[in-house]
Amino acid sequence: AANDMESFDVLTEPLYIINGGEYSEEELFGPNPTSPYFPLNQQEIISTTVYQGESATSLYGEKGKKGVVVIITKNGKPLKK
């Protein structure tokens, strides 16, 4: 098995942390998204960090078991719709 730094699995329903707030895949990408960051591709993202495996669970506990995607946007708030 390759180590975590060399390969990434496709994350299924990871935890999303956007500017410190927690969001589910459903809240961001589901049929009726409720996240203020929807649509994500229209936000001004300055960094994205992906955590998987032990690093995800050591930082976020049981909530991070499916992986964690940490996103920081330019002004720390969702863009106005």
Largest CA-CA distance found in the chain, in angstroms, rounded: 44
Q: What is the pLDDT of residue 27?
A: 95
In this structure, is the dihedral angle defined by the CA atoms of residues 65, 14, 36 and 42, taken in order, positive or negative? positive
pLDDT given at position 53: 94
Task: Give the pLDDT score at 12.
Answer: 85
In a structure prediction context, what are the per-residue pLDDT tens digits for the chain, which is 81 residues long? 444 455 556 778 999 999 999 999 999 999 999 999 999 889 999 999 999 999 999 999 999 999 999 999 999 999 876
pLDDT of residue 7: 55
Return the closest-CA partner of residue 72 out of 25, 40, 29.
Answer: 40
- Positive or negative: CA dihedral 64, 69, 71, 77: negative
